[in-house]
Amino acid sequence: MGRLTDRAAFETYAANAQRRWEALWEDRSWVISVGISGCSIAKGAEQTFQHLALLLADGHIPTVLRRVGCMGLCFAEPLVEVKRPGEPPVLYGWVTTDRVPEFVDTLRRGELPTEGVLGVRAFEEWQGIAPLQQHPFLRHQRRLLLEHAGVIDPESIDDYIATGGYRALLKALFEMTPEEVVDEVKRSNLRGRGGAGFPTGIKWESGRRTPAWPKYVVVNSHEGEPNVFKDRRLLEANPHLVLEGLIIGCYALETPFGYNYIGGEHALALRRFQLAVEQAYALGLLGDDILGSGFSCHVRVRTGGGAYICGEGSALMYAIMGQRGQPRTKPPRSVEEGLWKRPTVLNNTETFASVPLIVRNGGSWYATLGTKDSTGTKLVTMQGPVRFLGVAEIELGMSMHRLVFDVFGGVREGYRFKGVQTGGVSAGPLREDELDIPVDFDALTPAGAMLGSGGFVVFDESVCAVDFARYLVAFSRYESCGKCTPCRLGTPALVEILDRIRYGFGRPDDLEVIQYASKQIIELSLCGLGQVAPMPLLGMLERFRDEFIEHITEQRCRAGVCPMTASVSAIP
C-alpha cells in the first residue's frame, strides 16, 4: 500500500498488519527469531543467523527466520527464540554459531534443547520450562518501553503498527489539541531521562509560550558516556517508538521541524532509526498533511563524531547547525533561543519514547508508576562483575540494593562487592552499607550520588579507588571542549595529582589541593561537564579516603594495580 491519506486508511492498514502478525504465530511453520543488536553482533549473532538460515534451508524445514532487537539480556547473547507449531515460544541464550548444528538437529527430532534455556513466553510453566517473566533478571522489572523489544522486527513498521504502534499519534492528531497533549505530559510528571531530570511538560509548555518562529524539537540520542548504552539499545530494538514520540512532540509544539542527533559510533541504531524515518514517510506518517489531519512534520537525522561534549544541549545544537560543538552561557535557555536562535525543545531518547505511552494511557496513569516526584519507569544499565549485564527497566523508587543484588544478580562468584559508581562519570560511588537509597532523581543526591542517565558500574576489591577515580576524571579531561578555563586546565591538573599519587610521589597536602581545585572547577565551569567532572573523585575520596592516604604515606596500593615506583623518572 502507498501513502495513507486519512485515518480510515490507517485503520484498515493497521487491521491488516495485525492479521498478518497473528497469522505469523498461528502458521504451521517454525518461527525462529534471532536478536541482532550492537551487543549481540559483537558476540557473533550475525554468524548464528546465517548458520541457522543455511541449515534450515538444507533441511527443507518450513521456517520464518526473523531478526529482532535486543531485549536487554546482553549477558546471554546471542539470543534465539524458537516457536514450533502448536507450542509457545522458548527463548535460548548463548547460541553461538558452533552450537547451531546440534541446536537445529535437536529441534528437528522434535525435542527441545536443554542447554541455555532462559524461559518460555507463557504465563505458566511448559514442559518443565519456567515462564520467561520469572527469570531472575526480569522478575523485578516493569517493562513498558521494552515491552516489545526482542519480539518485533525493529526494521518493520508493520510489526510496530500490529502491536499498537502509532495509535498514540492518531489519538493526538484527531482527538486532542496540542495544549491537551502538553497537559497530559505535565500531568504525568515525566522528568527528562538524560540526567538533569527537568519536568518534560514544563519544558514543552515553555517552548509553546515563546512567540518566535519557527520552532524545533530535538531528540538527544548522542549517549557518549563509557558505561551507558540504554538509548542505543532502545533505538536498535524499537526505533518507531522514539519516532512516534518525536512526532507527537512536534505536534504539541505545533511545528513541522524535528531532529534526532545520534552518536555516529552507534552505527546500527543510526541505520535503524533512519530506516524508520523512511518507512514513516513512505506510509504517510511523516510529511505534509499527515493522514489528512492538517499537521505536517519533517524529521531529519544528524550524526555526531563521538565528542562527549555534544551530549550537552547547547553544544548538540551547534553541532546540528554544522558548527563546532561547544556549550554556551545561559540564559537564554534553549526553549527561548536554540537551533538558529529559535525556540527549541530538546529531550532525551528515553523521554520521547515514554510520550506515546502517556498519550495512549493518560498522564494520570503514568503518574501512578514510580514515586510522587519521580514517576514512571527508567532504563538502567549495569557493568562490572555482576551476574546479569544488560539493560533493565525498573519502576523508579526501587532501592539501589535491590537493583544491584536482585535485578542484576549481585556480583559473580569469586568477587567481593566494594561499591557501585553512580551517574555515569558524573557522580560519586556508594558502599554496600548505603544501598538502601531509592533509585530516583532526588534521593541519591544527598549521598553525593546521582541517577543521571541510568548508568551504574559495580566494582569489587580488585579495583583501586585512586586508579578508578583517575579513570573517571581523565575521561572528562579528554572530552572537555576546552572553551572555559576551569574545565580546560582544572581537569588535567586533577589527573596530574592523581598520577603523582599513583606513582608513589603523592604529598600530604594533595588531598586538600584536590578539594580546593574541585570546588573551583564545579563552581566556575561553563557547562555540566566541568560542573560535575570532579564529583566522582570527591566521592571516591570521601568513601575510600584510607586508600588515598595509603598511597601517599606508605606508597602502597592495596589492589596492586597502581604503578608505584621509586624512580622519579617514571612519572609520565
Domain shared by 63 and 201, yes or no: no
Number of H helices, E strands in the chain: 21, 14
First to last CA, the chain: 65
Is residue 426 a part of any domain in this protein? yes
Is residue 9 a part of any domain in this protein? no
Is residue 190 a part of any domain in this protein? yes
Q: How many CB atoms lie within 10 A of CB 512?
A: 10
Long-range contacts: 113-118, Cβ < 8 Å, 24+? 116/76, 116/92, 117/90, 117/91, 117/92, 118/73, 118/76, 118/79, 118/91, 118/92, 118/93
Q: Rounded distance, CA 461 to CA 463, Å? A: 5
The CATH number of residue 104's host domain is 3.40.30.10
Bridge partners (DSSP) listed for residue 456 = 382
Encode pLDDT of 486-514 as tens digits: 999 999 999 999 999 999 999 989 999 99
Domain shared by 29 and 99, yes or no: yes
Cα 546–chain centre separation: 35
- What are the angstrom distances between the C-alpha of 474 and each of 70, 477, 497? 31, 5, 11
Is residue 209 a part of any domain in this protein? yes
State whether residue 559 is helix, strand or coil.
Answer: coil
Domain shared by 393 and 290, yes or no: no
Q: Which of 310, 343, 367 is the last residue of a domain?
A: 367
pLDDT for residue 1 = 58
Structural domain boundaries enclosing 281: 166-367
Q: What is the helix (H) or strand (E) element at residue 394, kind and residue range? A: strand 390-395
Domain shared by 85 and 214, yes or no: no
Encode pLDDT of 332-358 as tens digits: 999 999 999 999 999 999 999 999 999
Is residue 141 a part of any domain in this protein? no
Longest dimension (CA), the chain: 79
- Which spans in 127-199 are helix H? 157-162, 167-175, 178-188
Domain shared by 298 and 425, yes or no: no
How does DSSP assign 441-468, residue by residue? Answer: TTTTGGGT---TTSEEEEEETTS-HHHH
Nearest CA to 476 out of 265, 307, 325 is that of 307
The CATH number of residue 510's host domain is 1.20.1440.230
Q: Which of 400, 428, 460 is the last residue of a domain?
A: 460
Quick one: cell of 436? 538502601
- Which spans in 189-309 are helix H? 200-209, 230-237, 239-253, 267-283
Is residue 160 a part of any domain in this protein? no
Q: Percent of the chain at pLDDT above 90?
A: 88
Domain shared by 418 and 551, yes or no: no
Is residue 227 a part of any domain in this protein? yes
pLDDT for residue 565 = 53
State whether residue 404 is helix, strand or coil.
Answer: helix
Cα 202–chain centre separation: 23
State whether residue 421 is helix, strand or coil.
Answer: strand
Contact yes or no for 400/515 (Cβ under 8 A): no
Q: Could you give the angle at which helices 167-175 and 7-26 cross, rounded to 10 degrees?
A: 160
Q: Rounded distance, CA 72 to CA 331, Å? A: 39
Question: Looking at the 3D structure of the chain, how many domains does it have?
Answer: 4
Domain shared by 317 and 399, yes or no: no
Domain shared by 452 and 514, yes or no: no
The CATH number of residue 206's host domain is 3.40.50.11540
Domain shared by 334 and 232, yes or no: yes
Write out residues in the chain with pLDDT < 70, as ranges: 1, 565-572
The CATH number of residue 419's host domain is 3.10.20.600
Domain shared by 386 and 476, yes or no: no
Is residue 1 a part of any domain in this protein? no
CA R_g for the chain: 25
Q: Which of 420, 438, 460 is the last residue of a domain?
A: 460
Cα 127–chain centre separation: 35
Domain shared by 171 and 246, yes or no: yes
Domain shared by 308 and 396, yes or no: no
Nearest CA to 93 out of 390, 323, 373 is that of 390
Bridge partners (DSSP) listed for residue 302 = 261
pLDDT for residue 569 = 39
